[in-house]
Structure 1
Amino acid sequence: MGQVPSATRALRVLRFLAAQPEPVPLERVTAAVGIPRSSAYHLLTAMVEEGFVVHLAEEQRYGVGVAAFEVGSGYARQAPLQRIARRPLAALVDEVGQSAHLAVLHGRDVLYVLEERAPGRPPLVTDVGVRLPAHLTASGRAILAHLPAAQVRALYPDRSAFVDRHGVGPQSLTALRVVLTDTRRWGHAREDGEVTPGLASVAAAVLDHNAHPVAGVAVTFPAGDADVADVAVAATRTAAGLSRRLGGR
């Protein structure tokens, strides 16, 4: 990390803090980002002064500040990812004849920011603005599979972090790691009936120039109503195209 620019370190700290369900102590930041304690302290102090981080002195913990919220609000107003993804997502729906959506990671949930519904397909629970547990969704698994192991561990510190919808899906970090290993091996994520019984999904991650997953492109269809391999190829191709638009590989 010695040669990593300070701006990159600050962004990694901010990304880590934004993914946490609550403020965390300094040691969690140093372990997750991989920088010395003294460097992390000085970096966090500067970020506190700029309003991007808040320091809870009584608890000796750090969390996301108001300035970071303002940046997020600017993103919501401009919606650049949605604007870039709308046409490719519509083309994906035309190609596979199934509904597709775009989701981003928000804590331990995925937040659906764009949906294209295919004519005659069943209604989904993935309307824009809906949140679902990331570990149960294909889009969430696609994103989680590209995160550092330490960040995944921070998101799921114990069994209480695993929400259960229908009695299926990983309920421990060990089980989730198996799912994410399969996701990386396949090159895409899958889920079958874990979000909605009778419906299955495949998804691929959209990566930025740092190979960080910024979103998941998913296709959802009645189980057995589509060739999973063909749909996965189309979803992966769409995600790769969006990654290139964002400067990713």
Structure 2
Amino acid sequence: MTSDDKKPTTKRQVPAVSRALAILRFLARSNEPVGVNPIARELGLIPSTCLHILRVLEEEGLVEFDSNLKRYTIGIGILPLARAALQRNTFSVLIQPKLSGLSEKFGVTGIATQLSEPGQMVVIALSQSNIPFRLQVDLGSRFPALISATGRLFAAFNVEDDAELTERFHKLTWDHPPSLEQWREEVVKARELGYAVDQGSYISGVTVVAVPVFGASRKMTRSIVAIGISERLQDKQIPKLVKSMMAIREDIEKIQIDTGS
């Protein structure tokens, strides 16, 4: 065992911080205000402990309390923190104008995602297409790391435990879910090709194309994604789209190497 292996995790060192982060993440995922007891039950916390943390977070503006409903939501005080993080994220700054060019050229919505909390990808850059479709994407949107085209890449390059993959796959929500066998074949194909395509499985009538961006460990830490209406984004266009997306990745990697960022 190395010295690094012996170091305690942050959770063991500061459990109150870990609990506060868990509460913030839970509220960020919740579409409706939530009461203390459901939060505590979901996160395995003692209700009195949960309430104490919520009151501190409320005082700091990170959560908001509805006195009529007796429920909590994520607070706008989180916005300056998120904005500062995005402004300091070199990748999101570099890719934003390139996503705009991608959207204009191919009529797609371009997004960049980054691995955030365990099992979640977060949108860190976005360029909306002028062509409307029903998939709503916003900066800061989160989705399971294994879903859609990005998910096939995440499974291909980041998850080695077969049992874990199977368990997490069955928790995913799709409009037209593929079978486990079909999905596994697509994961293998994504590993071979270096990109992945989801044609209407995740969202009916919507095609999602994703290209991985790797970290120093050669694990996928980010992705470049193009989303379009399947009727408009034909099979013959996808290779050209993928080529452009890979070129964007190479351009950004070169800039980061040259600048040391």
- TM (norm. structure 2) is 0.61
**Distance (Å, rounded) in 2 between the aligned partners of 1:167 and 1:219:** 19
**Distance (Å, rounded) in 2 between the aligned partners of 1:105 and 1:161:** 20
For the aligned residue pairs, the C-alpha RMSD in angstroms reads 3.6
Structure 1 residue 43 and structure 2 residue 50: aligned?
no
Q: Which amino acid is the alignment partner of residue 112 of structure 1?
A: V
Note the 1:101-112 alignment, pairs <5 A. 101-106=111-116, 107-112=118-123
Structure 1 residue 158 and structure 2 residue 175: aligned?
no
Taking a change above 3 Å as real, the CA distance of residues 240 and 65 of structure 1, as seen in their structure-2 partners, is farther
Q: Which amino acid is the alignment partner of residue 43 of structure 1?
A: D
Which consecutive residues of structure 1, in runs of 5 or more, have no partner in the other structure?
1-37, 57-63, 67-71
**Distance (Å, rounded) in 1 between the aligned partners of 2:152 and 2:110:** 16
Q: Is the 8 A contact 2:207 2:227 kept in 1?
A: yes
Provide the residue aligned with 1:223 in structure 2.
230
Provide the residue aligned with 1:93 in structure 2.
103
How far is the alpha carbon of 1:189 from its aligned partner?
A: 0.7
Q: Which amino acid is the alignment partner of residue 190 of structure 1?
A: V
Q: Which amino acid is the alignment partner of residue 211 of structure 1?
A: R
Provide the residue aligned with 2:30 in structure 1.
none
Structure 1 stretch displaced more, 87-96 or 132-141:
132-141
Taking a change above 3 Å as real, the CA distance of residues 76 and 95 of structure 1, as seen in their structure-2 partners, is closer
Given candidates 156, 160, 170, the residue that maps to 1:149 is 160
Q: Which amino acid is the alignment partner of residue 205 of structure 1?
A: P
Taking a change above 3 Å as real, the CA distance of residues 178 and 146 of structure 1, as seen in their structure-2 partners, is same
Q: Is the 8 A contact 1:96 1:234 kept in 2?
A: no
3-state secondary structure, aligned to 2:185: helix
Q: Is the 8 A contact 1:111 1:132 kept in 2?
A: yes
**Distance (Å, rounded) in 2 between the aligned partners of 1:77 and 1:156:** 34
Equivalent pairs counted in the alignment come to 194
Provide the residue aligned with 1:55 in structure 2.
12
How far is the alpha carbon of 1:160 from its aligned partner?
A: 7.0
Taking a change above 3 Å as real, the CA distance of residues 214 and 247 of structure 1, as seen in their structure-2 partners, is farther
Structure number with greater CO (CA < 8 Å, separation at least 6) is 1
Provide the residue aligned with 1:27 in structure 2.
none
Q: Is the 8 A contact 2:107 2:131 kept in 1?
A: no
Provide the residue aligned with 1:183 in structure 2.
190
Provide the residue aligned with 1:21 in structure 2.
none
How far is the alpha carbon of 1:103 from its aligned partner?
A: 1.0
Give the structure with the larger helix fraction: 2
- TM (norm. structure 1) is 0.63
